[in-house]
Amino acid sequence: MNRLIFAAALMTSVAASAQDTLRPALEATYGEWRNSIIRKDPAAWQRATATHRKAEVRNRIVSEKRMFPAAVFDIPAPPPALTGLKFLEAQQNGPTAKAAYFGKVDFDVGGNPTDNLLVLSFVREGTAWRYDRADYVSLVALPEVRKELAAGNLKYLKETPEAQPSGQIPPTPIAAQTAKYIAKVYVFCPGREVRVQVNKISMHRFANAQEAEVVIGGAVDGLNEVQYAIRKLDGATGKEAMTIRVYLFSQIPGVQPVKAFEYQINEGGVPKDFGTGNFNVDAAMVGKIMGK
């Protein structure tokens, strides 16, 4: 019995020691990254940001025909400070780590922020931690989770895979060329997970969502391919309406996006599990986005 008590105490001590060293390292990295955004400092941003994330951000910017790295700092609100937030935990799994915070996450856009969840992700490159991403979780629809976190109960974090470090660094994508035509994938998929791939380059995942994402590399002249995979989520009926679309966007003010591709299932319909379609960027379509 004494050995068991000693072992438990030792494990608790090791866990506490890891928190003591991991937390300040992650917070220092986040502080460096946040300051680089506020100061609009490209060199500091390059140093603080994970390699795969830098590549993803660059690909998205050039796919919207914006200037890199200047457009990195063209954001609607500054990243939130950790000051005033309640630290919940810092967890490491191999070369990945996450730090979670609870409280009034303030994006400095006015109003009165309520208590919500902020999870920061990091990867280790060489001997240093690099910032990956931040996930802001609104708890408006999760009042019981809000109560649990306020009381220090971390059950929600432990049971949510996205809140735990995966142990795997995401691969660095191939550098995309500046898009000729800006395109976005729009998906409406209540009760379903939808994966979309455009031109075998731009990969997207949507789950129980109504969202749009920029097509990496944009659309090209001539034939463009759209592949999709659809899966019903637990608790769904499988009869929900669903839409997959690709839009082309104009850079001319006042010109509306052009719908280039659509796969749609009405309420009660049954979608295919997998499918491939295409759309053709021809002179007529180009004329529309040019406002002609």
Give me the CATH number covering residue 144. 3.10.450
| Residues 121/165, Cβ–Cβ less than 8 Å | yes
Note whether 86 and 216 are same-domain residues: no
For residue 3, name the pLDDT band (cuts at 50, 70, 90): low
Percentage of residues in the chain having pLDDT higher than 90: 86
Q: Is the pLDDT of residue 7 over 70?
A: no
50 plus 139 within the same structural domain: yes
Burial of 58-75, coded b for 16+ CB within 10 Å and e otherwise, reads bbbbbbbeeeebebbeee
Tracing tokens 């109003």 back to the chain, one arrives at 111
Using CA atoms, how far apart are residues 186 and 98, in angstroms rounded to an integer? 29
β pairing state of 115-125 and 96-104: antiparallel
The average pLDDT across 227-232 equals 96
In a domain, 126, yes or no: yes
- Name the residue range of residue 275's domain: 182-289
Burial degree of 52 (CB within 10 A; 0-12, 13-18, 19+):
middle
For the chain, the domain total comes to 2
- The whole-number average pLDDT for the span 46-71 is 97
Please give the structure tokens belonging to residue 144. Answer: 């019981």
Q: Is the dihedral of CA 80, 81, 84, 85 positive or negative?
A: positive
Label residue 176 by pLDDT band (50, 70, 90).
very high
Domain assignment present for residue 175? The answer is no
What average pLDDT is seen over the chain? Answer: 92
- Whether 20 and 148 map to the same domain: the answer is yes
- The predicted pLDDT at position 120 comes to 98
Q: Which of 288, 206, 283 is nearest to 247 (CA)?
A: 288
Characterise 222 by phi-psi region: left (phi > 0), alpha (psi -120 to 50), beta (else).
Answer: left
Residue 252 has a pLDDT of 94
- Does residue 133 lie in a domain region? yes
Which helix H or strand E contains 2, and what residues bound it?
Answer: helix 2-39
Of the three residues 117, 133, 163, the one that is the final residue of a domain is 163
Residue 172 resides in a domain: no
d(CA 222, CA 200): 15
d(CA 14, CA 17): 5
pLDDT of residue 211: 96
Is pLDDT at 13 greater than 70 in this prediction?
Answer: no
- 187 and 112 in a common domain: no
Same domain membership, residue 211 and residue 117? no
Q: Are residues 17 and 149 in the same domain?
A: yes
